[in-house]
Amino acid sequence: MATRSSWSTISVAHRCRLPTYWPNWETTPDNTTTYDVLLTDLAVNALLANIKAIGGDQDLLNRWTYTLDCVGFGTVGAGSTTTNIVCSAIDVSPSIADQLKGKILIFRKGTTTANLRQQGTKITANTTGPALTVETLTTAPVSGDSFVIL
């Protein structure tokens, strides 16, 4: 089984420089620290090989990859309310209205608005803009809040 210490063999570049140390993932990053990490093809292949070695099952690895392909990421734009989320960025740009209807939106635990951290809601409609209509949130999101769509 792969351990955290064995992961340190993966090559990363931080702002186009190779880091001289690995962050202590037990204490950092916190909600105020952002790390830009660039994985090289070699590192990605090593990571995939380690994942495969954990399960020893190519089918399981394929299923995990397909699952990740179903997750969308987005950022809230200005003018959102508790039932309407204006997106400034979204990686699953809908090509037709209601394409995302029925999916679940969950705010990341490090998102800007503390009351929304890890809060989830159902998408009830969407435009191609995209703007998302959701079941009522406890607090209106602000520009910069981040979320995943499952």
Do 65 and 80 have their domain in common?
Answer: no
Whether the full predicted model's pTM is greater than 0.85, yes or no, is no
Do 13 and 38 have their domain in common?
Answer: yes
pLDDT reported for residue 23? 53
Q: Which residues constitute the domain of residue 95?
A: 72-149
Instruction: Show which of 36, 69, 102 is a domain's final residue.
Output: 69
Q: 121 with 82: CB under 8 angstroms? A: no
Do 45 and 90 have their domain in common?
Answer: no
pLDDT reported for residue 113? 96
Residue 6 has pLDDT above 60, yes or no: no
Do 84 and 102 have their domain in common?
Answer: yes
pLDDT reported for residue 122? 96
Tell me the C-alpha distance between 87 and 72, whole Å.
Answer: 12
Domain count, the chain: 2
**Where is average pLDDT lowest: 18-22, 35-39, 106-110?**
18-22
Instruction: Show which of 52, 69, 86 is a domain's final residue.
Output: 69
Do 97 and 143 have their domain in common?
Answer: yes
Do 63 and 95 have their domain in common?
Answer: no
Residue 145 has pLDDT above 70, yes or no: yes
What is each CA distance from 13 to 20, 28, 34, 38, in whole angstroms?
10, 17, 14, 5
pLDDT 10s digits, 27-67: 555 555 555 555 566 666 666 666 666 566 777 777 777 77
